A and B are shown apart, each in its own frame.
Chain A
């Protein structure tokens, strides 16, 4: 019996891992780059909100629409998973215990004496379990497909203003010019990584028409570095809403002047685009004027030892999953996503009415994972989006367990809180299923570990079970195949199984902490690990429960 997370728990979680967050953090006093001709101050959009100058005040926010349901969202999802587990336990009770088979002694390789037992579930039980799993997974997939198709074919301008047919109707016979790309790079103290990000953009086979760095409350030389690179610089002004707030300020200025085909791309300052990204994206936007967004597929950068490899394996599996979905998006990742201006304008206009948030804001500043939230927002207004396999980026991995804990706590809380804000709708169905899968995986893995620990503490010899060993082998095959593209280290780690089980257990604890934090209303704060000017430079935005400080 192996790895309950092997095929579902971790995989589901990596979908959430697509929600790559901001590198921009706004907990310090804004810096000013006076005298820079390309540096433009952006007016503060809403003084009432930006008055909240302290980190605590910002971090105290709940997602828009927060209420009792939002507080209970984690418990609701975990509770449903627990009920499902209880049902299965009842089924296990009804099935009765497995027939114990007395261990036999065998000789392996001519000299190794081993005990083994041929115990296996009955055919009826095995078929039932397999059928139930197949039914669940196909049911979710078919329902998602049906919802997706219905949205794609919608002509309801009220609920799906960005539905393809409506966009086609609005733009029929109008040529808005060729597709252009304006890149926004939000940056908080990113002097070390920014040059590489800019270079990867300028080196594209189809370079962007504009690159705008958006320094947000920087205390380092991010502004000077950007200026030296020859790109535009638009600093945030009085922003206390981190990456989302800084981007909202710039987008408020930028969007009105953008034509239908003047796409906007958001790239994290710790991310490097692979060559061909923009060329492929421009081809897509050119071929389909109803296409509203393109999300990049990300891979983890080298380094950080085994911890880094765990994360790289996750990202590799996520990318494979998206390819197998033929590009159907889970999350328009914060590392690199492109949008048609109409998409962002529609979201801004819809906030406060059909979707949560403050009217006029593209990004919901209350969301912990603003990219995940924007994805749900766009889906909620019927936008067509895709993650083409050619659009890949390399992004950072967390260098320490502590940093990873903070990062994943933010992702987990963000994903759950977004569901709390949006509720259960057809457009959020897949995300609910994802979170339920994670919740159930937590219980399943805990049960697995409990069984192993109890058994180990109660016996002093081992019996080998060929049937379960065979299943373990199947798990190992799946784990290795899924990370094959990641290279030999990835395959080796996956084949070992146990290390990734431990990693999955770590993520489970993060999940439970996230559920508890939401339930108890604990504040979520942000920390920032600054890049070093070295090959091992690290930068990340992270979140820390205030109760931990």
Chain B
């Protein structure tokens, strides 16, 4: 898995010279680049997520109670019209 067969003079089925061809070396570089990219994604997936932006963004805080239970009229009046995330600006 994590090993590479050696570049040695004797081949099992194919001539060893394949390993020194330009096309093989290009393939090896292609795979190397891919491996580096995928390992980056792997590291990102292991690291804990911070959610920094949403924690400090006021736009992501609801300014209105969205419960199915209607609020007292006073509460609704106080909150309606505040331009926040998902806020009802113009109630019917």
Contact = CB atoms under 8 A, between A and B. Distances in A.
B26 interface: yes
B11 A459 contact: yes
Contact of A462 (B5, B22, B32): B5
10 contacts: A88-B30, A92-B26, A130-B36, A130-B37, A169-B92, A175-B68, A175-B69, A289-B68, A324-B45, A451-B28
Contacts of B90: 169
Secondary structure of the A contact surface, majority rule: helix
Contacts of B39: 7, 471, 474-475
B64 A459 contact: no
A140 B16 CA distance: 42
B11 A153 contact: no
Nearest to A466: B2
Contacts of B40: 129-130, 133-134, 137
Interface in A212-260: 260
Interface of A: 1-8, 11, 85, 88-89, 91-93, 95-98, 100, 103, 115, 117, 121, 125-126, 129-130, 132-134, 136-137, 152-153, 155, 164-165, 168-176, 178-179, 260-261, 285-290, 324, 326, 444, 447-448, 450-451, 454-465, 468-469, 471-475, 477-479, 481-482, 497-498, 501
A100, A288, A468, A473: most-surrounded residue (chain B CB, <10 A): A468
Given A289-B66, A451-B31, A459-B12, 20 more contacts: A5-B38, A11-B45, A85-B30, A88-B34, A89-B26, A95-B29, A121-B36, A125-B32, A168-B64, A168-B86, A173-B70, A286-B68, A451-B27, A454-B18, A457-B12, A457-B13, A459-B10, A461-B8, A474-B39, A482-B45
Given A176-B68, A468-B2, A498-B1, A97 B29 contact: yes
A460 B10 contact: yes
Contacts of B15: 458
B3 A462 contact: yes
What are the 10 closest A-B residue pairs judged by CB atoms, nearest first? A472-B2, A97-B25, A7-B42, A463-B6, A129-B36, A133-B37, A92-B29, A478-B42, A133-B40, A7-B41
B70 to A, nearest CB: 5
Contact of A459 (B7, B27, B34): B7
A290 B66 CA distance: 7
Contacts of B46: 477-478, 481-482
A226 to B, nearest CB: 31
Contact of B31 (A130, A174, A448, A462): A448
Contact of B5 (A85, A155, A456, A481): A456
A497 B35 CA distance: 14
Contacts of A460: 8, 10-12
Given A88-B30, A460-B11, A444 B6 contact: no
Given A98-B25, A172-B92, A465-B4, A326 B51 contact: yes
A262 B46 CA distance: 40
B43 interface: yes
A288 B67 contact: yes
B12 A173 contact: no
A2 to B, nearest CB: 6
Contacts of B8: 459-461
Contacts of B2: 2, 464-465, 468-469, 471-473
Nearest to B91: A172
A136, A444, A481: most-surrounded residue (chain B CB, <10 A): A444
B14 interface: yes
A173 B35 contact: no
Contact of B76 (A11, A173, A174): A173
Nearest to B18: A458
Contacts of B87: 165
Contacts of B12: 456-460
Contacts of B88: 165, 168-169, 172
Nearest to A444: B34
A110 to B, nearest CB: 21
A517 B28 CA distance: 32
A351 to B, nearest CB: 26
Nearest to B66: A288
B82 interface: no
Given A289-B68, A447-B34, A471-B36, A463 B29 contact: no
Contacts of A472: 1-2
A136 B34 CA distance: 13
B44 interface: yes
Nearest to B17: A458
Nearest to B33: A129
A178 B89 CA distance: 25
Given A169-B91, A462-B6, A468 B27 contact: no
A478 B41 CA distance: 9
Nearest to B15: A458
Given A88-B30, A89-B30, A103 B45 contact: no
Contacts of A461: 5-6, 8
A134, A136, A455, A461: most-surrounded residue (chain B CB, <10 A): A455
B38 A444 contact: yes
Nearest to B57: A149
Contacts of B85: 152-153
Contacts of B49: 324
Contacts of B35: 1-2, 4, 448, 468, 471
Contacts of B41: 7-8, 133, 137
Contact of A287 (B33, B43, B67): B67
Contacts of A482: 45-46
